[in-house]
Amino acid sequence: MPSPNDIRKGTVISRDGGLYVVVDFQRVSPGKGSSFVRTKMKSLATGKVKEENLKASENMEFADVLNKNMQYIFSDATGHTFMDGMTYEQVAIDKDVVGDDVKYLKEGLEVIVVTHDGKPIALDLPGKIEYTVKHTEPAVKGDTVSGNVTKEATMDNDLIVRVPIFIKIGDVIRVNTQTGEYTERINR
């Protein structure tokens, strides 16, 4: 029996007689309470989103889904197209399935496409993605003592991220896709 600790983005939960796809989740371990998973899920029937806290020890019922590693290729009016690197099969995914995550897509990005009954229902992005900085202003001398001095930087896929002032054009950085924040610079 799976438990809420096995939940990820794209997990399909069978609950209250309906099927729900997990769009977001957060594990919470309160200091002095039992841990739980704060789960945001979308009804596959109605598209309505609801939030529920699931006790970590609870038994869950997951519906069968297929997780496929695929690469992002391009977007057009009909949606976003991904390719299976093994079979070269291509799948177009509706814009609303990808939602806000569209800003993290870049050519060749490996993602997990979750399908249920042959229909793509969710995209599971890597927790951290590397990008090359396409543009950022050079550092200005100033307050570096307080540790929070950041500036805007544009990535190779036009994603905009606040980065520390030591980041230069051409640097490769890692971005946290849960928070949208800069994580670290990659040493090359």
Partner 1 sequence: MLSKDDIERRLTMWRTVEDALHVFFSAHGFTQVRTPLLVRYPDLSVNLDPMQVRFDCFAPKKIPVEAALITSPEFSMKKLLGVGMEKIYTITSVFRGTEALAPHNSPEFSMLEWYHPAGYEQGMQFARELVNDVLKCQNRWPIIAHADANVDEHGDPHIDEQRFILADYPADQAALARLSKDGKTAERFELFADGFELANGYCELLDGAEQKKRFAYEQWQRKQKGKPVFGIDEELVEALDRIDGPVTGVALGVDRLVMLKYGVGDINDVQLFPAQELWSGEVME
Q: Is 184 in the site for partner 1 (CB under 8 A)?
A: yes
Distances (CA, A) of 167 to 50, 127, 130, 145, 181: 39, 21, 14, 17, 14
Select 154 or 183, whichever has its Cβ closest to partner 1: 183
Report the C-alpha gap between 24 and 69 in whole angstroms. 19
- List alpha helices for 78-181, DSSP H: 95-98
Q: Is 130 in the site for partner 1 (CB under 8 A)?
A: yes
* Residue from 94, 127, 137, 152 binding partner 1 (CB under 8 A): 127
The first and second tokens of residue 10, run together, are: 């794209």
Report the C-alpha gap between 22 and 150 in whole angstroms. 33
Q: Is 5 in the site for partner 1 (CB under 8 A)?
A: yes
What are residue 160's DSSP bridge partners? Answer: 154
Contact pattern from residue 69 through residue 108 relative to partner 1, giving x for each residue in contact according to CB under 8 A and a dash for the rest: ----------------------------------------
Q: Of 9-17, 65-73, 95-103, 171-179, which segment contacts partner 1 by CB under 8 A?
A: 171-179
The first and second tokens of residue 34, run together, are: 């039992």
The first and second tokens of residue 81, run together, are: 């197209």
Q: Is 29 in the site for partner 1 (CB under 8 A)?
A: yes
Select 44 or 149, whichever has its Cβ closest to partner 1: 149
Residues at the interface with partner 1 (CB under 8 A):
5, 26-36, 38, 53, 55-56, 110, 126-130, 144-148, 164, 166, 174, 176, 178-187
